[in-house]
Amino acid sequence: MNFGLIIIGDEILSGKRQDKHMARVIEMLGARGLTLSWAEYLGDDPLRITAALRRAFAGGDIVFSCGGIGATPDDHTRQCAAAALGVELALHPEARELIMQRVRAMVAEKGGSAEPDHPDTVHRLNMGLFPVGAQIIANPYNQIPGFSVGDVHFVPGFPVMAHPMIESLLDARYRALHGSHQQRECSLVVYGAMEASLTPLMIEIEARFADIRVFSLPSVDHPVHGRHIELGVKGVPGPALEAAYAHLRAGLDARGAKIGPEMVRP
Which tens digits make up the pLDDT trace of 186-230?
A: 999 999 889 999 999 999 999 999 999 999 999 998 898 999 999
Query: Residue type for 254, please?
Result: A
Please, which pLDDT band fits residue 132 given cuts at 50, 70 and 90?
very high
**Residue 266, preceding bond cis, omega within 30 degrees?**
yes
The burial class, CB within 10 Å (0-12 / 13-18 / 19+), for 166 is buried
Domain ranges of the chain: 3-177, 184-265
Say what the pLDDT of residue 1 is.
86
Say what the pLDDT of residue 9 is.
97
CB 185 within 8 A of CB 234: yes
CB 98 within 8 A of CB 144: yes
CA angle 119, 121, 127 (to 5 degrees): 115
Instruction: State how far the Cα of 87 lies from the Cα of 90, in Å rounded to an integer.
Output: 9
Residue 166 has pLDDT above 90, yes or no: yes
Q: pTM value? A: 0.89
Residue 110 has pLDDT above 90, yes or no: no
Mean pLDDT of the chain: 96
Query: What fold is seen in the domain 184-265?
Result: Alpha-Beta Plaits (3.30.70)
Which tens digits make up the pLDDT trace of 2-25?
A: 999 999 999 999 999 999 999 999
Superfamily of domain 3-177: MoaB/Mog-like domain (3.40.980.10)
Q: Around Cβ 156, how many Cβ atoms within 10 Å?
A: 24
Cα Rg, the chain, nearest whole Å: 24
What are the beta bridge partners of residue 230? Answer: 189, 217
Sequence-ordered strand ranges (E) for 104-244: 129-131, 135-137, 146-149, 152-155, 184-191, 213-222, 226-235
Say what the pLDDT of residue 24 is.
98
CB 232 within 8 A of CB 263: yes
Say what the pLDDT of residue 40 is.
98
Residue 266 has pLDDT above 90, yes or no: no
Residue 264 has pLDDT above 90, yes or no: yes
Which tens digits make up the pLDDT trace of 48-80?
A: 999 999 999 999 999 999 999 999 999 999 999
